[in-house]
């Protein structure tokens, strides 16, 4: 065996050792999707309460445990949010009923009213993008009434990785309405500044 082959053999053995160590460290988590869904549901409930309390440490701890669960169900592989992978199954099986405001950490689709403007919110769950770096889960805002003004010219806007300080007592519908109202107000101020400059 040449040096290249020997190095590859060592690298493979090292990876196997890391994989086995990781599986041992997560052996408290289930290996089967049905048990995983049941555990994930309880994680969502705990996560919602921690969000309502504004407790960032508990929130982030639950999210990390949820990522470990999704990865374990994916045989230790990190692509657990790929199409058909366990992470997507966990979110699909625990999704809120369409139109109902989800718990924090539960995916869902619902409509809010911001000063007479209806907005459909698509809310991300515990495993959503940027959930490891932002207290507030990401969401997208979509136009509902095509014949009425909307705060985004495209009829769509994504809010991911929001860095606002944690705040206790905000439900997902109240939070998203607050974010969009702030966005609308900022656009109004920007428009006023442009008009003022144009009149100067």
Question: Domain limits of the chain?
Answer: 3-93, 108-199
Supply the pTM of this predicted model: 0.86
Between the alpha carbon of residue 186 and those of residues 151, 152, 180, 191, 193, the distances in Å are 10, 12, 10, 9, 11
Predicted pLDDT at 2: 58
pLDDT, tens digit only, all 200 positions of the chain: 555 565 566 666 666 767 777 778 888 999 999 999 999 999 999 999 999 999 999 999 999 999 999 999 998 888 999 999 999 999 999 999 999 999 999 999 999 999 999 999 999 999 998 999 999 999 999 999 999 999 999 999 999 999 899 999 999 999 999 999 999 998 888 767 776 776 65
Predicted pLDDT at 107: 98
Predicted pLDDT at 20: 76
Predicted pLDDT at 5: 62
Predicted pLDDT at 193: 73
Q: What is the pLDDT of residues 156-170, one digit of tens each?
A: 999 999 989 999 999
CA distance 187 to 82: 36
């Amino acid at each position: 065996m040449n040096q290249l082959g020997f190095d590859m053999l060592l690298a493979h053995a090292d990876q196997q050792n890391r994989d086995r160590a990781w599986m041992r460290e997560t052996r408290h988590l289930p290996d089967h999707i049905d048990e995983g869904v049941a555990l994930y549901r309880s994680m969502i409930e705990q996560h919602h309460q921690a969000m309502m309390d504004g407790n960032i440490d508990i929130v982030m701890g639950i999210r990390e445990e949820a990522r470990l669960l999704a990865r374990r169900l994916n045989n230790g592989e990190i692509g657990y949010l790929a199409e058909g992978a366990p992470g997507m199954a966990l979110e699909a099986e625990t999704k809120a009923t369409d139109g109902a405001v989800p718990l924090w950490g539960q995916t869902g689709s619902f409509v809010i009213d911001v000063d007479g403007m209806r907005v459909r919110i698509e809310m991300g769950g515990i495993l959503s993008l940027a959930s490891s770096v932002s207290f507030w889960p990401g969401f997208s805002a979509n136009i509902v009434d095509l014949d009425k003004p909307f705060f985004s010219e495209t009829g769509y806007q994504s809010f991911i990785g929001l860095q606002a300080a944690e705040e206790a007592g905000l439900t997902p519908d109240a939070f998203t309405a607050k974010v969009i109202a702030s966005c609308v107000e900022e656009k109004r101020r920007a428009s006023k500044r442009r008009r003022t400059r144009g009149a100067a």
